[in-house]
């Protein structure tokens, strides 16, 4: 999201917020009202990415579409939109909107969620999530308290801001779409899947065998498969392929690379094999996907 009437404890290097590349190294959380930030850009936020941040947008009023990794998802009042790090995203609001935007430095968030696996699970899933019940009356004072801690500069302000941030995240979690609560076994499996995804992020360009990744995690392939299936409903190879597909979509949508160049970058032996892989998972060939991104159908307000 772009800069506006924001309240920030500071910021991270590189592309901090949309339209903001300043270097403020002591940042850990930024809070701002949605309407001021988006109004300045005509309610259209162009595709961009935050390499080191997780972003949470609460839509209190208004509607539109969120684009994340080439997919459009509709949102309406009472939705929370989650953008994990590195995900290319943008917003098209169908007129004026109100709400809040919380941007959290990733490593700080990881430390914060060590004892909160339920929160970690929902914040690692990008997209639009309609809350089970409207919670505007609770969100307003919670955001005000968080904003005050960030602004006031009082003794213990960082601790106070952390407490208020966790209260806001807990509020969203308790109104999240109903899910089965994880037991201790599932929680352990979720941590294994988190570590597996980190390996995939680091190594996917060479398309490593699942057996290699399992060995690096000091588990058997069957243990890794069980964990992935239990936590995500997908096998390890499906998760690896999903990551490859997401990167392929990014390259097709946001770079001038040819299909052959993308295939080579992603570790495929030839462009034809890559095209078959992409078409099977995306239900269209890569050239059609690229045309769709260049000439998208008009979005109705």
Task: Annotate 190-204 with DSSP letters as a single string.
Answer: HHHHHHHHHHHHHHG
Q: Are 193 and 231 in contact (CB under 8 A)?
A: yes
User: What pLDDT was estimated at residue 179?
Assistant: 56
- Tokens 């850009």 sit on residue: 41
User: What pLDDT was estimated at residue 27?
Assistant: 54
Three-class secondary structure of residue 184 per DSSP: helix
Determine the Cα–Cα distance for residues 33 and 205; give it in Å rounded to an integer. 38
Which tokens belong to 84? 């994990």
Determine the Cα–Cα distance for residues 125 and 139; give it in Å rounded to an integer. 21
Determine the Cα–Cα distance for residues 94 and 200; give it in Å rounded to an integer. 37
- Tokens 């992603």 sit on residue: 266
Per-position pLDDT tens, the chain of length 301:
544 444 433 332 233 444 443 434 445 788 889 887 788 888 988 888 776 789 999 999 999 999 887 778 899 999 999 998 877 788 999 988 999 999 988 777 877 777 777 787 788 778 899 888 788 888 889 988 998 888 887 888 878 888 899 999 998 988 887 654 444 444 677 778 888 988 998 898 899 999 999 999 999 999 999 988 877 778 999 989 988 988 888 788 778 899 999 999 999 989 999 999 999 998 899 999 888 776 554 333 3
Three-class secondary structure of residue 17 per DSSP: strand
Q: Are 51 and 17 in contact (CB under 8 A)?
A: no
Q: What one-character-per-residue DSSP string does 259-291 give?
A: HHHHHHHTT-S-HHHHHHHHHHHHSS-HHHHHH
Q: Are 56 and 109 in contact (CB under 8 A)?
A: no
Where is 60: in which H helix or E strand? strand 53-61
User: What pLDDT was estimated at residue 102?
Assistant: 93
């Amino acid at each position: 999201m772009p800069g506006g009437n924001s309240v920030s404890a500071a910021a991270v290097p590189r592309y901090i917020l949309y339209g903001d590349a300043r270097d403020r190294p002591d940042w850990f959380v930024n809070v701002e009202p949605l309407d001021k930030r988006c109004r300045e850009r005509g309610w259209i936020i162009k595709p961009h990415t935050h390499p080191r941040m997780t972003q949470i947008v609460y839509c209190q009023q208004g509607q539109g579409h969120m684009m994340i990794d080439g997919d459009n998802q509709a949102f309406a009042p009472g939705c929370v939109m989650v953008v994990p790090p590195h995900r290319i995203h943008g917003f098209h609001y169908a007129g004026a909107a109100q709400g809040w935007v919380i941007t959290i430095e990733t490593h700080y968030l990881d430390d914060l969620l060590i004892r909160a696996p339920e929160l970690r699970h929902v914040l690692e899933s990008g997209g639009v999530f309609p809350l089970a019940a409207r919670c505007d009356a609770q969100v307003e004072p919670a955001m005000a308290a968080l904003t005050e801690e960030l602004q006031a500069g009082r003794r213990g302000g960082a601790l106070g801001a952390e407490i208020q941030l966790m209260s806001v995240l807990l509020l969203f979690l308790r109104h999240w779409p109903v899910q089965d609560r994880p037991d201790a076994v599932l929680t352990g499996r979720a941590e294994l899947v988190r570590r597996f995804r980190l390996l995939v992020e680091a190594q996917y360009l060479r398309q490593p065998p699942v057996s290699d990744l399992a060995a690096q995690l000091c588990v058997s392939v069957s243990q890794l498969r069980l964990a992935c299936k239990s936590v995500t409903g997908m096998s390890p190879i499906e998760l690896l392929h999903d990551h490859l597909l997401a990167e392929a979509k990014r390259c097709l949508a946001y770079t001038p690379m040819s299909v052959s160049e993308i295939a080579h970058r992603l570790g495929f032996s030839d462009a034809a094999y890559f095209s078959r892989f992409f078409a099977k998972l995306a239900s269209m060939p890569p050239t059609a996907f690229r045309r769709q991104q260049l000439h998208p159908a008009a979005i109705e307000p």
